[in-house]
Amino acid sequence: MSLRIANQVRRGPAVTLSVDGQAVEAFAGESLAAALWAAGRRALRQSPRAGTPRGVFCMMGACQECLVRVDGQRALACQVAVYADMRVETGAAT
Amino acid sequence: MSVNDKARIPGGETFDAAVVGAGVMGATTALFLARGGMRCALIDAGGVCREASGVNAGTLTLHMTRAALIPYAMRGWDMWKNAPDWLGGDPGVCTTDGLSLAFTAQEAALLEERVEARRAQGAPIEIVTASRAREIEPGLTDDARLVAHCPMDGYVTANLTGHTYRRALVEAGVRLYENAPVTGIEAGDGGFRLAMAGVAPRARRLVLAGGVWLEDMLAWLGLRIPIKALVNQLIVTERVQPVMRSVLGIASGLLSLKQFANGTVLVGGGWQGKGDRARHTTEIVPDNLIGNLRLARYVVPALAETRIVRAWLGFEAETSDALPLVGPLRGIAEAYAIGCVHSGYTSGPYFGRLLAQRILGQEPEMPLFDADRLLATP
Amino acid sequence: MIRDPEILILGAGPAGVGAALALADHGVRALVVDSGFAAGGQVYRPMPDTFAPNGTPGLGPDQEEGARQRRLLADSGVATAFGRLVWSIGTDLRVDALGPDGPEFWRPKGLVVAAGATERVVPFPGWTLPGVMGLAAATILLKSQCMLPGRRVVVAGCGPLLFAVANAVVKGGGQVVALADLAGPGTWLRAMPALLGRPGDLLQGGAWMARLAAKGVPLMFRHTVREARALGAGLKVSLGAVDANGRPMRPARDRTLEADSLVVGHGLIPSTEALRLLGAEMYFDAEAGGWVPRLDDDQRASRAGLYAAGDGTGVRGAVGAFLAGRIAGLTAALDLGRIDAGQHARAAGPLRRRLAQARRFGRAMSRLMAPPSGLYDALDAHTVVCRCEDVTRAEVNQALESGAADVNQLKSWTRCGMGPCQGRMCGDTVAQIVALRTGSRAAAGAWTARVPLRPLNVEALAGDFDYDDIPLPTAAPL
Ligand SMILES: Cc1cc2nc3c(=O)[nH]c(=O)nc-3n(C[C@H](O)[C@H](O)[C@H](O)COP(=O)(O)OP(=O)(O)OC[C@H]3O[C@@H](n4cnc5c(N)ncnc54)[C@H](O)[C@@H]3O)c2cc1C
Ligand SMILES: Cc1cc2nc3c(=O)[nH]c(=O)nc-3n(C[C@H](O)[C@H](O)[C@H](O)COP(=O)(O)OP(=O)(O)OC[C@H]3O[C@@H](n4cnc5c(N)ncnc54)[C@H](O)[C@@H]3O)c2cc1C
Ligand code: FES
């Protein structure tokens, strides 16, 4: 079962992102955090001091746990919308 | 008065010495006075090293030190390097190479002149080739025209200063009065009476160490010495992978850049914000923040990929001739002042020790900086 | 976008929209700035415009109210600057933002701060694991992304969002493995009259409770999360009983459940950084969610030209936020001389009456969201308090023992609160721990507000430049 709730909405065009070199299917306009979440990519980085895995936590740009690289730039996954061929690197941000 | 100390402070106690202001200047003086056998009180409006001495960039650099202060700064550098020996702890001291850079012809001329002046005072600074500079600092831009190298550089994690000093002071038996602003001083026969809420400690000797607030403190004794308040801005990034290993600056002194062991990169150099020392408020000047950041990013291109997480400011004191005020206040027996030292964090421990030597009746290793030259004529 | 707004509104949630509409009514040149890409704030966060709604999404009529507010804002003609993060505000009211066009700034005559709230999650062992997310965070996933926080979810914490989220998960086809509420049913019964004072609101706790019970969702009142552990790609979540103060009880009867995710939240905290940066007078009000600005009846803060409204002034909910925003807008128009005191009174009067009603509801809601003090006592030594810097409770205690007297001194000594979230995630917890020693939150203090208000990319802020474009000050003395 997909985490995307099917009956409530018609999503936009399907797009493919590259996440750490692997293809991930998502929908244009979707939040990158949601797209990664739906793809089961929950650990997005490691905390710099203890090195423990972290992922989406606040969904509002406050906690900074969803920091990834998007097309080479640091970005919060919960604050950017996906587009076709977006290149995402997890774990590489710090 | 801090909650912790409230219960323990008896009123009207008499000390051999009272030091007002617990920045690195006052705290070191108090520490060595106590170690020299004096019963010493250290009083601060806030906590130990929470103003300039706790919020500064922590750079231990000779590249930015005023030439006349180089001998002091070198000894200060040495004290920091051996902090565990005399301070009983390590506030994150790291010694490394320092580079000072020039990007324009004008800066190159400035750099040459400054290197010469500092070398004349004993600083081990040398002009190096571009390739040597890149060896020392692989993170450095290719664009530097002239580079000076000093093997005697480094930094301290300034925000840990208070923690380390506080423990040393307590262990040395210094009586700490924190969150206890002094509002005035009565000088009488045989000593001083400090006006502050609740208690009025007395002391046979008085050391004023109030940083930018030194001007007000001197006024308590009827002395008028104008002291300028610089409002320095600092910017720090989040923890990032290593992008540099040395301390970087530019000829004019307007950059201080380094990466701490924890991965954060600190950007400073004396770019000015706004502040009001009387009301204790500061605020950044956004254009200066962006300017300082551009400079840093120019010098270490890899910084482009990082994020800044915080900027803050602190007050730095400067006398009219930009030289220190460290020594006895003539005309008032057993009253002393210490402060207004350029790159005062680097040499603070040394100046504190010198003044303590003087107060303990020893001959200071190096000359002090007399207050008389600064007294404004009424 | 306009370059010279008379009034700048920070935040395009209901409070900001309310202010914008009132200002537009009186011809004031206003600009609404928000880091998001559309108005609505947290409560009315819209779906991506590539999505076409198909019936009622999981969280109910809010989508419609959000759409209505966005329409009103668009029709009002008020200028908007979306995708702009406000990172600095000077005491001269210079407002600096970073957006797609790089850094920009405005110098309005007045500023309405409508910055909303962030979620509070009281730490427990395992709260940093991927798969653990906030309760309010889950509402964002559900309402704006039509996405489940998990197939099998444990929902825990306190406050009305518990039932809203659990209900939306069930409605979306997910399973709520358990719902652990710190409150007991009695707490809800007592709050019910005030909550029902707002029929039609999404926080229809009672009805949802009944529906969840009917669906067989285990409703565990007076329960809390003891611990979460990773289990394969999912989680093992231990739940246990607490007393009325949130202190652990009957540990022998703790239950461990397997789930995909754990959604947990303990209310909201007003976002007051912008106000504190300007030196606005603040006071601590636990029931309002934390530190809040002192405001007069007309939404004026303690300095000229500064107004505030919405959850950032005390958590009172979306309806109250919109009304308070309108009043703030009217007051700014009054202070600019665009309306007179009579007009202001006539327009603000009815709004204020409705606001009083909304606040009654809001207060009942906030009370339900306030975490009981026992939760902090239960925080063990190894639990990470500061997520960014992995600072544990034990390290916080050590700093307190070596003399740290307030949260800022503690921050210097431990790095707690120095990471990229800028203390947003740990601030409330740390202050609560410090207050156990200082006796009060007022004495524990609050983080000093710092610029930038959020982390900023150096590349974006520095932009494209040559060495000559760096405005170097004069050289330091030699
Ligand atoms: C942002 C910044 C960056 C800097 N970077 C560097 C650097 O990289 N390297 C370097 O070498 N130097 C640096 N400096 C300079 C250095 O920090 C100072 O020279 C040094 O810390 C000054 O120490 P101080 O003890 O004289 O003053 P402070 O540390 O300011 O201490 C003065 C104390 O007096 C107390 N006080 C004031 N009024 C009263 C009162 N009425 N009663 C009781 N107590 C009172 C204050 O609370 C304060 O604690 C920097 C300075 C700043 C501001
Ligand atoms: C994650 C979350 C989800 C929530 N979900 C619900 C819900 O489903 N139902 C409900 O009843 N209540 C919900 N709430 C409570 C909700 O916050 C309020 O009741 C309501 O949104 C308050 O409106 P507001 O206008 O005061 O603030 P908000 O709606 O929070 O609006 C504040 C706006 O300010 C912007 N902003 C803040 N700082 C800056 C800055 N520095 N630069 C640029 N823009 C900035 C934000 O992007 C935001 O859009 C939620 C709260 C949170 C934190
Ligand atoms: S999930 Fe918290 S910032 Fe993105």
Domain C121-266 has CATH 3.50.50.60: yes
Domain C7-118+269-367: CATH superfamily, name plus number? FAD/NAD(P)-binding domain (3.50.50.60)
User: What is the three-class DSSP state of C274?
Assistant: helix
Successive 10-residue mean pLDDT values, chain A, 94 residues = 87 96 96 98 96 97 97 96 97 64
Given A49, A72, A74, which is nearest B307 (Cβ)?
A: A74
Around Cβ C217, how many Cβ atoms within 10 Å? Answer: 21
| Stretch C11-20: mean pLDDT | 98
Helices (H), B82-129: 83-87, 105-120
Looking at residue C422, what is its pLDDT?
98
User: CB burial class (10 A; 0-12, 13-18, 19+) of residue C67?
Assistant: middle
Answer yes or no: do C53 and A59 touch at CB < 8 A.
no
> For every one of its 378 residues, what pLDDT tens digit does chain B have, with 9 covering 90 and above?
333 333 344 457 899 999 999 999 999 999 999 999 999 999 999 999 999 999 999 999 999 999 999 999 999 999 999 999 999 999 999 999 999 999 999 999 999 999 999 999 999 999 999 999 999 999 999 999 999 999 999 999 999 999 999 999 999 999 999 999 999 999 987 899 999 998 889 999 999 999 999 999 999 999 999 999 999 999 999 999 999 999 999 999 999 999 999 999 999 999 999 999 999 999 999 999 999 999 999 999 999 999 999 999 999 999 999 999 999 998 999 999 999 999 999 999 999 999 999 999 999 999 999 999 998 765
Answer yes or no: do A48 and B262 touch at CB < 8 A.
yes
Torsions phi, psi for C168 (to 5 deg): -65, -35
Distance A34 CA to ligand 2 centre (A): 19
Given C448, C456, C476, which is nearest B64 (Cβ)?
A: C476
- Mutational pocket test of ligand 2: of C42, C85, C319, C451, the residue with most ligand atoms within 8 Å of the beta carbon: C42
Distance B247 CA to ligand 1 centre (A): 21
Position C7, amino acid: I
Q: How many Å apart are CA C62 and CA C434, to the nearest integer?
A: 38
* Cβ of A80 below 6 Å from ligand 3: no
- Mutational pocket test of ligand 3: of A76, A80, A88, the residue with most ligand atoms within 8 Å of the beta carbon: A76
| Stretch C81-85: mean pLDDT | 97
Nearest to C41 by CA among C144, C194, C182: C144
Dump pLDDT digits (tens) for C263-310. Answer: 999 999 999 999 999 999 999 999 999 999 999 999 999 999 999 999
Sign of CA dihedral C44, C45, C50, C53: negative
**C388-412 burial: b if 16+ Cβ within 10 Å, else e:** bbbbbbebbeebbeebbbbbbbbbb
- Mutational pocket test of ligand 1: of B48, B56, B318, the residue with most ligand atoms within 8 Å of the beta carbon: B56
Q: How many Å apart are CA C304 and CA C322, to the nearest integer?
A: 22
Q: Which atom of ligand 1 is nearest the CA belonging to B317?
A: 19
Q: How many Å apart are CA C261 and CA B49, to the nearest integer?
A: 45
pLDDT-derived band at C364, boundaries 50, 70, 90: confident
Q: Is the peptide bond before B378 cis (omega within 30 degrees of 0)?
A: no
Rg (CA), chain A: 13
Best residue of B236, B237, B307 to probe chain A, by most A CBs closer than 10 Å: B307
Looking at residue C1, what is its pLDDT?
66
User: What is the three-class DSSP state of C38?
Assistant: coil
Residues of A in contact with B308 (CB under 8 A): none
Answer yes or no: do A62 and C457 touch at CB < 8 A.
no
pLDDT-derived band at C57, boundaries 50, 70, 90: low
* Cβ of A58 below 6 Å from ligand 3: yes
Q: Which CATH class is domain B94-153+228-318?
A: alpha beta
Give this prediction's pTM.
0.96
Q: How many Å apart are CA C309 and CA B198, to the nearest integer?
A: 41
Q: Which fold has domain B14-53+160-225+321-374?
A: FAD/NAD(P)-binding domain (3.50.50)
Asked if pLDDT for residue C249 goes beyond 60, the answer is yes
Looking at residue B1, what is its pLDDT?
36
* Cβ of A63 below 6 Å from ligand 3: yes
Nearest to C17 by CA among C67, C83, C69, C61: C69
Q: Which CATH class is domain C379-444?
A: mainly alpha
The residue extents of the domains of chain B are 14-53+160-225+321-374, 94-153+228-318
User: What is the three-class DSSP state of B106?
Assistant: helix
A74 touches chain B (CB under 8 A): yes
The residue extents of the domains of chain A are 14-89
Looking at residue B8, what is its pLDDT?
40
The residue extents of the domains of chain C are 7-118+269-367, 121-266, 379-444
Q: How many Å apart are CA A90 and CA C284, to the nearest integer?
A: 39
Sign of CA dihedral C156, C160, C166, C169: negative
| Stretch C409-432: mean pLDDT | 97
Say which residue the tokens 């801090």 belong to: B2
Nearest to C399 by CA among C444, C368, C361, C450: C444
* pLDDT, averaged across chain C: 94
pLDDT-derived band at C207, boundaries 50, 70, 90: confident
Residues 6 or more apart whose CB falls under 8 angstroms from that of B120 comprise: B67
Q: What is the ipTM of this complex?
A: 0.97
Q: State the architecture of A14-89 in CATH terms.
A: Roll (3.10)
The 8 Å CB, 24+ separation contacts for B5-13 are B5/B176, B5/B177, B5/B178, B9/B177, B9/B198, B9/B199, B10/B199, B11/B198, B11/B199, B11/B200, B12/B199, B12/B200, B12/B201, B12/B202, B13/B41, B13/B175, B13/B199, B13/B201, B13/B202
